[in-house]
Amino acid sequence: MKEKVYEFLRTIPKGRVVTYGQIAEHLGNKKAARAVGNILHNNPDENKYPCYKAVDSKGNLSKHFAFGGIEKQKEKLEEEGIEVCNYKVDLDKYKMR
């Protein structure tokens, strides 16, 4: 499952985010969102697998982002033109469809 999660991350276009549940659903088990989060936390290569593009179901950033914390995740999203307000993104505007 973990390889599929990491490969899915590579399909997310610039300027878009996905939810943990969205990744889980794509993999065929929409109840596996927590497992997806754990896999992302153990990402071996943030440059190859852009886990900073994953947010929770309400658009909140991860307080425990593995590569520098929530501030770093915010910074990386903003570099792609994604607006972050109070550590949250507007899923209606930025969620990959």
Question: Residues 32-48: pLDDT tens digits?
Answer: 999 999 999 999 999 99
**pTM of the predicted protein model:** 0.94
Q: List the one residue out of 1, 57, 8 whose CA is nearest residue 29.
A: 1
Q: What is the model's pLDDT at position 6?
A: 97
Joined tokens for residue 93: 């505007």
Question: What's the rounded Cα separation, in Å, for the pair 77 and 95?
Answer: 12
- Please tell me the predicted confidence (pLDDT) of residue 93: 98
Report whether 18 contacts 95 (CB < 8 A). Answer: yes
Q: What is the pLDDT of residue 84?
A: 98
Question: In the chain, which stretches have pLDDT less than 50?
Answer: none
What integer pLDDT is reported at residue 78 of this predicted model?
98
51 is a catalytic site residue? yes
Catalytic residue among 33, 51, 82, 89: 51
At 58 the pLDDT is 98
